[in-house]
Amino acid sequence: MKRREFIILTGSGAASTTLLSGCGHPENTLIPALIPDETTIPGVDYWKAGTCALCPAACGIVVRTREHRASKIEGNPLHPVNRGALCARGQAGLQVLYNPDRIKSPMKRTGERGSGRFEPISWEEAIKTLAEKLNDIRSRNLNGSVVFSMGAALNVNRIAAEHFMDAYGSSRLVTTPLSGDDRAVGYASAGGQAPVFDIANATYLLSFGARFLETWQSPVMYSLAYGDFRRGHGRKRGRFVMVEPRMSVTAANADEWAPAAVGSEGLFALAIAQVIVREKLVPNAAPPNLASGSLDDYAPEKTAAQIDVPAERIIRIAREFAEAERPLAICGGAATLDEDGENAKAIHFLNRLVGNLNKPGGVLQTDRFDPIAGLRPAKPANWTPLSGASGYKDGGSALLIHGMNPAHFAPDLRDQIKAFGYIASFSPFLDETTELADLILPDHSYLESWDLYAAAARRTEKRAESRELKVGTLPFASVASPVVPPEFDTKQTADVLIQVSRELGQTLPFESAEDFVKKAVPSVRKAMGQAAELTEEEWSSLAETGVLLVEHGAASSTAESDSAKAADEKIAIGPAIEENKRDDYPLYILAYEHAALGHGEHANLPWLQELPDPMTTVIWGSWVEINPKTAAALRIKDGDLVEVRTPAGAATLPAVFYPGIRPDVIATPYGQGHTSFGQYAGGRGINPAQLGLAYGNGARSSDSRARVTIAGGESRLVRFGTSLPEKIDTPR
């Protein structure tokens, strides 16, 4: 049998088989040592491949196991996305598996809805209960009102849900709300999958709020690409300019930080475009398709005051960008908070203006790669992003929910959730939404599950004779099988849906989650131009590597028609931004994704709670960042407890002096403020949603206004090491 060998350095010392005291079952460690099974040798480490599920990037991982216990997670060096690297979230995956707050078996509600009182039941009873409820709903012809709500799950559970709902007779499929980043990338893809931005081969990178070294899209992949961008590899190292009102970790790594006014990023981009066109810096450059006015209305001399960046600086950046060999513009974060995505359109127009689509250092628009299309329902599923106006509106007869916690990230939806006649949750943790459930059918952790994820990564081919770069996208599929047996009495959601379907007399096209993966892999191989059927040796090799790649053939790219289609998009940004100043709310307020805790979905992992914020060193809590000049005017001291009030609500939290933020802006991270979600997350910090800053609500950043006053009382600000250095440049 052909074997692939690789070495992973994990530090010295023997790995412990118990990561959290009181977790698991001691006999799981003892029995294999006395009566070993056929697949393990006591005392020997086994590395098993899988896919990380702690963010949408889906990096490849390898997990060190011994006697059926996982003790370390590392990046898979054979995976094209992360190439052996792994972020802090990925490393903390063991605390998902061994978390003492996991729901250990099915449960049914015993108290009032929302009381959090449940009692354990058997899987037989749980499946029968759900099937009887759904059967009763169907007998009353109300099956069309049943909603299945699912977060960013990978293929197995998602496709099982699609088949389940299709067979049951409901089309109400709801997923997480689109963030600004999602809207920006969805536009740039022009009808295909999300594009890949070739940062590695760019020579000039202009980022409008895209925090690609922290949370944006695929931070491990883009961190590796940024390393290549900086090293140059035989050429001059790339230059990086970051435009955003608050200095992030990504901005701190830039050559230049331009703290533009909140909401002005699209205007900034059009000002750059106007300079490029008027000075003819790009041959045959065509102006953007504006909904009104002319490009001359956006000249830096006319818009600099609104952008709050000197016209001379905008002109210089425009010239540098246009004259660079391989310029690239990306956007995310605060630049994409506008509901209609007009800022993103203006920013991505810069890429079309300099002609970098599907070229080295540019935007690699990917082909639509869905090798398992044949395993999806015949009727295409339409997953609607959740918002206050869709998804849960008017309730329904039943809500089935997996992998999302809307009662936390959008508390105003709580009443809509409670309006459902019956709620079944597949969550492995008792979070704010699961507390509202009538029945809990806990899912496996991703380390105990079968899954498959297909996408495309950047591919570069270098021609030695001419040093010419040829770039494109590399189709791949991550294949995950359980790396350890189930820790508790849980079941993968796909398997539960299959069993419930049988009770309802429905037929799904696969017998189990494992059967789905084994049917999907041949489809993936066929789509990659390989022999569909695998030999026993190939199956064994796939289990070792965890990834399927196109081994030969040219890089892939989309047709030019996609680029032309994107170029026709109208940009509707007025040449003047409404001031929207209010004496009662004089400051803008921004909420940003926490580098470790995300939007709160990982707040129950103590390793991540203990990880200091890179810019403020705060741990285990929330804070509000305020410029020292603004704080002095308000007589606020660093660490004071303050009240932050917006038109939507108020919160009390400690103030942190942050020179790297505009004086007219304050900022606070998502991540905390859970009222439930276990001992590590509950009762810590504040939830920005109570200030009207719900994740994915699409509110314009210019509408988010606040005021700050001293609240009095004792501040519970916990920092690691020293306070924030005072040498960060403060915007004027």
Residues 6+ apart with CB under 8 A from 269: 208, 329, 343, 346, 347, 349, 350
Q: Is the pLDDT of residue 14 over 50?
A: no
Q: Is the pLDDT of residue 417 over 90?
A: yes
Checking DSSP bridges between strand 327-331 and strand 399-402, what pairing results, if any?
unpaired
* pLDDT tens-digit readout, 65-76: 988 899 999 999
The first and second tokens of residue 554, run together, are 């040219």
* pLDDT tens-digit readout, 285-301: 888 888 888 999 999 99
pLDDT score recorded for residue 475: 80
Q: Cα–Cα distance between 216 and 336 in angstroms, integer?
A: 12
pLDDT score recorded for residue 38: 62
pLDDT band for position 395 (cuts 50, 70, 90) = confident
Q: Are 569 and 187 in contact (CB under 8 A)?
A: yes
Which tops the pLDDT comparison, 105 or 703? 105
SS3 assignment, position 685? coil
Residues 6+ apart with CB under 8 A from 92: 54, 602, 605, 607, 608
- What long-range pairs does 258-261 form, CB within 8 A, spacing at least 24? 258/309, 258/313, 258/317, 259/308, 259/309, 259/661, 259/662, 259/731, 260/307, 260/308, 260/309, 261/306, 261/307, 261/308, 261/577, 261/662, 261/664
- What long-range pairs does 527-534 form, CB within 8 A, spacing at least 24? 527/369, 527/371, 527/475, 528/371, 528/475, 529/553
Q: Is the pLDDT of residue 568 over 60?
A: no
What DSSP designation does 235 have? Answer: S
pLDDT score recorded for residue 725: 42
pLDDT band for position 542 (cuts 50, 70, 90) = confident
Among 204-213, 343-352, 359-368, 453-462, whose mean pLDDT is lowest? 453-462
Radius of gyration for the alpha carbons in the chain, expressed in angstroms and rounded: 26
pLDDT score recorded for residue 23: 45
Q: Cα–Cα distance between 176 and 110 in angstroms, integer?
A: 29
pLDDT score recorded for residue 488: 96
Return phi, psi of residue 222, to 5°.
-80, -25
Q: Cα–Cα distance between 145 and 331 in angstroms, integer?
A: 38
Among 21-25, 100-104, 710-714, whose mean pLDDT is lowest? 21-25
Backbone angle region of 542, left / alpha / beta, with phi > 0 → left and psi within -120 to 50 → alpha: alpha
The four Cα atoms 210, 216, 220, 222 give a dihedral, to 10 degrees, of: -40
How far from 592 is each of 232, 296, 324, 696, CA to CA, in Å? 31, 34, 31, 11
pLDDT score recorded for residue 551: 62
pLDDT score recorded for residue 35: 53
Q: Cα–Cα distance between 240 and 251 in angstroms, integer?
A: 9
pLDDT band for position 374 (cuts 50, 70, 90) = confident
pLDDT band for position 697 (cuts 50, 70, 90) = low
- What number is the average pLDDT over the span 94-103? 96
Which tops the pLDDT comparison, 597 or 35? 597
Q: Cα–Cα distance between 665 and 608 in angstroms, integer?
A: 27
- What number is the average pLDDT over the span 540-551? 83
Among 130-134, 178-182, 568-572, 586-590, whose mean pLDDT is lowest? 178-182
Percent of the chain with pLDDT over 70: 83
The first and second tokens of residue 286, run together, are 């065509």
pLDDT score recorded for residue 18: 36
Q: Identify which of 635, 658, 649, 640 has the alpha carbon closest to the alpha carbon of residue 711.
A: 640
pLDDT score recorded for residue 252: 96
Alpha helix (H) ranges present in 529-614?
536-545, 560-567, 606-609
Q: Is the pLDDT of residue 145 over 80?
A: yes
Q: Which domains does the chain have, with CATH numbers?
A: 26-101+449-492+506-549 (2.20.25.90), 107-177+386-444 (3.40.50.740), 181-364 (3.40.228.10), 587-710 (2.40.40.20)
Specify the amino acid at residue 92.
Answer: A
- What number is the average pLDDT over the span 313-328? 96
Which tops the pLDDT comparison, 56 or 107? 107
Alpha helix (H) ranges present in 354-492?
406-409, 414-418
Q: Is the pLDDT of residue 255 over 60?
A: yes
* pLDDT tens-digit readout, 507-529: 899 999 999 999 999 988 888 88
pLDDT score recorded for residue 238: 92
The first and second tokens of residue 459, run together, are 């591919």
Q: Cα–Cα distance between 729 and 732 in angstroms, integer?
A: 9
Residues 6+ apart with CB under 8 A from 646: 585, 589, 691, 692, 693, 704, 705, 706
Q: Are 430 and 167 in contact (CB under 8 A)?
A: no
Q: Are 74 and 62 in contact (CB under 8 A)?
A: yes
pLDDT score recorded for residue 626: 97
pLDDT score recorded for residue 715: 81
Do you know the residue count of the chain? 732
pLDDT score recorded for residue 9: 40
Q: Are 63 and 48 in contact (CB under 8 A)?
A: yes
Q: Is the pLDDT of residue 26 over 70?
A: no
pLDDT band for position 729 (cuts 50, 70, 90) = very low
3-state per-residue secondary structure call for 250-265: HHHCCCEEECCCCCCH
The first and second tokens of residue 116, run together, are 């959090």
Q: Is the pLDDT of residue 494 over 70?
A: yes
Between CA 709 and CA 716, with CA 713 as vertex, the angle to 5 degrees is: 100
Q: Is the pLDDT of residue 387 over 90?
A: no
Instruction: List 709's β-bridge partners, or say none.
Output: 643
* pLDDT tens-digit readout, 349-360: 999 999 998 898
**Cα within 13 Å of Cα(441), Cβ side:** 24
